[in-house]
Chains A and B, each alone.
Chain A
Amino acid sequence: MEITTGWYLVLGALLFVIGGTGLLIRRNPLVMLMCVELMLNGVNLSFVAFARQLDDIGGQTVVFFVLVVAAAEVVVGLGLLVAILRRQPGATADDLSALRG
């Protein structure tokens, strides 16, 4: 069976959905960060698949930008997590609920 672009797009969409679902249902903040990465990589796969299909280098270049942005985001996210876990060791998303109304 030939693997067409569509399969890559489906895989990308699946990664995105798994990441998105994980972000919404997992309580461990570290796993939530990993889920964000999964979503972004699903998007990256779609970009590369489209770039191959369109025979255009633009989509592949975008992936580099996304990787850099994802790295920058994770740096900030881990910094925030360290700041929170230092005060509340083992905090989950449910523990961070002082603000509500």
Chain B
Amino acid sequence: MGALQILGFVGPSVNWWALLPQIILLGAALLILLASALAPQRTSTAFTTITTLCSAITSSIVAIGLWNDVKTGGPSSSIASAFGIDGFSIFFTLLILIGLAATALLSHGYLDREGIDPPEFHALLLCSAAGAIVMASANDLIVMFLGLEALSIGIYVMIAMHHRRSEARESAIKYFVLGAFSSAFLLYGIALTYGATGSTNLVHIRNYLDAVVFRDQHLLMAAMALLLVGLSFKVAAAPFHFWAPDVYQGAPSPVTGWMASIAKAAGFAALLRIFFAAFASHDVDWAPIVGVLALITLVVGAVMAILQTDVKRMLAFSSVSHAGYVLVAVHAASAEGTSAALFYLFTYTLMVLGTFAVVGAMGTDDEHPLSRYAGLGHSRPILAIGFTVLLLAQAGIPTTSGFIAKFQVIAAAVNNESYFVAGVAMVTAVIGAFMYLRIVMAMYVTDEEKERTSPTWHWTTSVVVIAAVSFTILIGVVPQLLIEFAEDAVPILIRG
């Protein structure tokens, strides 16, 4: 430090308080690794789960404190305006921490059952969550890229940690190759944005685009296209979704839940921050492309889901079609559309975590044919009711949060006069509902009594399912609680 001061180097000021949520998570990851290395016997799953949960809770308390700071003092940025602290970043921080707590609880039973070492899994999960938070808070494209990589690299290893199942390894290598491929696209997009605007900082990019009229904007258009392709891979939007069914099917169910919920939410956070906030002045260029992506994604997700026989693959395509609805909201390129997207992501995350909690408990050998769910309504009525609520919420049935979410998205599209997109979204909602109803029907309407596999149920799984179901119904009945939160969280860019 002394030598640097002599050289005249002054580092940017760092607001450590604002970085505390990630620091707590990384500290917990180090603590778990250290404890497992020093402890004489095998680290218990209970210790790692409790550490992860405690860090998630402490982190969320800090995040709520930051939310109040933002409410009173306005948004701020840290580390030379590379890291933003606004409603948007804290909204996603809280969402990611909820996902982290739920995944830690779901993995608790799973790791014990499958004999996977808990410390490594939880350390990777915590690092992955910290990466997701960095990605959602980044005010600079390179910081966003680093967050994305921290998020993804953790997931690659978490998928492959089940060392006895070749499907898990295959799923991990598929996700790895396509993840690296899409990262390269995203990075090339960042390079071209840097070339076109002279900076990777989102505030600088927005100010430059506001001030300058391009004589030819091929470079900028190519940059936007590459960024969109890279992020579409991450959020599994068609036609860049083909990895999703294989990877979701092969991955351990708690990791599938994490990928389907948080990896997707962080991807959309980056998408919204880049396109809605930084490229706002060029929305006539990108909004139509996003609209086309949304249309393809909606149709592919809804139609392909019907053709599947494996429940995990069905849910993979359902997550593709959910990405389509969020893209419809992004396509609107308005504050209303963005808050609809945030509302959708929040409710979707809880629904999908609850759904994969049930799926994880149902498939002890990680096979998920639809026939396994036959007769669940009779053998495990309460579980079946919870699963039904979550599936119907994903289909968008009124009195569930899924309905409000879809309604807001379509309303944003209509107010933006994108009637065609809104119409297709409504039609595909009906087509998609067929797939969810097929699972529900399999649970209740069956006449075969033979070989019912009873799910291996751990009480931590019940906690997640009960929390997800009650949240889904609560927001379905009183949506105002979350709508205001989402409206306060529309992204803004802050100069440091």
**Residues on the B chain within 8 Å of A16, using CB:** 184, 188
**Residues on the B chain within 8 Å of A50, using CB:** 191, 194-195
Query: Per-residue CB proximity of B76-102 to A under 8 Å, as 1/0?
Result: 000000000000000000000000000
Chain A residue with Cβ nearest B204: A58
Q: Choose from A42, A77, A96, A99 the contact partner of B180 (Cβ within 8 Å).
A: A77
Q: Are A99 and B184 in contact (CB under 8 A)?
A: no
**Residues on the A chain within 8 Å of B142, using CB:** 62, 65
**Residues on the B chain within 8 Å of A29, using CB:** 173, 177
Known contacts A20-B181, A62-B200, A77-B176; A84 and B170 CB within 8 A of each other = yes
Q: Choose from A58, A69, A83 the contact partner of B145 (Cβ within 8 Å).
A: A69
B160 within 8 Å of A by Cβ? yes
* A77→B131 CA distance, assembly (Å): 19
* A32→B310 CA distance, assembly (Å): 29
Q: Are A43 and B167 in contact (CB under 8 A)?
A: no
What are 18 residue pairs bridging A and B, where the CB atoms are less than 8 Å apart in the complex? A29-B177, A39-B184, A46-B188, A46-B191, A46-B195, A50-B194, A50-B195, A62-B190, A65-B142, A69-B183, A77-B180, A79-B160, A80-B169, A80-B173, A83-B160, A84-B170, A98-B167, A101-B310
Shortest distance between the CB of A25 and any CB in chain B (Å):
13
* A40→B188 CA distance, assembly (Å): 8
Q: Are A72 and B149 in contact (CB under 8 A)?
A: yes
Q: Are A83 and B163 in contact (CB under 8 A)?
A: yes
Shortest distance between the CB of B169 and any CB in chain A (Å):
5
* A43→B182 CA distance, assembly (Å): 13
Q: Are B245 and A43 in contact (CB under 8 A)?
A: no
Shortest distance between the CB of B168 and any CB in chain A (Å):
10
Residue positions of A touching B, CB distance < 8 A? 9, 12, 16, 19-20, 23, 29, 32, 36, 39-40, 42-43, 46-47, 50, 53-54, 56, 58-59, 62, 65-66, 69, 72-73, 76-77, 79-81, 83-84, 87-88, 96-101
Q: Count A-B contacts at CB 8 Å.
A: 116
- Describe B's contact surface by its main secondary structure: helix
Query: Per-residue CB proximity of B454-493 to A under 8 Å, as 1/0?
Result: 0000000000000000000000000000000000000000
Q: Are B176 and A101 in contact (CB under 8 A)?
A: no
Known contacts A98-B167, A99-B250; A76 and B187 CB within 8 A of each other = no
Chain A residue with Cβ nearest B304: A101
Q: Are B246 and A100 in contact (CB under 8 A)?
A: yes
Q: Are A80 and B146 in contact (CB under 8 A)?
A: no
Q: Choose from A53, A80, A98 the contact partner of B195 (Cβ within 8 Å).
A: A53
**Residues on the A chain within 8 Å of B176, using CB:** 73, 76-77, 80
Pick the 5 closest A-B CB pairs, nearest first: A39-B184, A50-B195, A99-B246, A46-B191, A36-B180
Known contacts A36-B181, A62-B142, A62-B200; A96 and B153 CB within 8 A of each other = no
* A73→B175 CA distance, assembly (Å): 12
B111 within 8 Å of A by Cβ? no
Query: Per-residue CB proximity of B310-351 to A under 8 Å, as 1/0?
Result: 100100000000000000000000000000000000000000
Q: Choose from A12, A19, A73, A81 the contact partner of B173 (Cβ within 8 Å).
A: A81
* A46→B184 CA distance, assembly (Å): 12
Q: Are A43 and B184 in contact (CB under 8 A)?
A: yes
* A4→B169 CA distance, assembly (Å): 46
Q: Choose from B145, B170, B313 the contact partner of A101 (Cβ within 8 Å).
A: B313
Q: Are A58 and B194 in contact (CB under 8 A)?
A: yes
Q: Are A83 and B184 in contact (CB under 8 A)?
A: no
Known contacts A16-B188, A39-B184, A80-B176; A99 and B198 CB within 8 A of each other = no
B174 within 8 Å of A by Cβ? yes
Residue positions of B touching A, CB distance < 8 A? 142, 145-146, 149, 153, 156-157, 160, 163, 166-167, 169-174, 176-177, 180-181, 183-184, 187-188, 190-192, 194-195, 198-200, 245-246, 249-250, 308-310, 313
Chain B residue with Cβ nearest A97: B170
Q: Are A84 and B308 in contact (CB under 8 A)?
A: no
Q: Choose from B177, B188, B200 the contact partner of A43 (Cβ within 8 Å).
A: B188
Shortest distance between the CB of A5 and any CB in chain B (Å):
9
Shortest distance between the CB of A26 and any CB in chain B (Å):
11
Q: Are B160 and A80 in contact (CB under 8 A)?
A: yes
* A36→B173 CA distance, assembly (Å): 13
**Residues on the B chain within 8 Å of A66, using CB:** 187
Shortest distance between the CB of A59 and any CB in chain B (Å):
6
Residue of B142, B245, B309, B310 contacting most chain A CB atoms (<10 Å)? B142
**Residues on the A chain within 8 Å of B149, using CB:** 69, 72-73
**Residues on the B chain within 8 Å of A19, using CB:** 184
Chain B residue with Cβ nearest A29: B173
Q: Are B184 and A80 in contact (CB under 8 A)?
A: no
**Residues on the A chain within 8 Å of B163, using CB:** 83
Q: Choose from B153, B167, B190 the contact partner of A99 (Cβ within 8 Å).
A: B167
Chain B residue with Cβ nearest A45: B191
Q: Are B153 and A73 in contact (CB under 8 A)?
A: yes
Shortest distance between the CB of B225 and any CB in chain A (Å):
13
**Residues on the B chain within 8 Å of A81, using CB:** 173
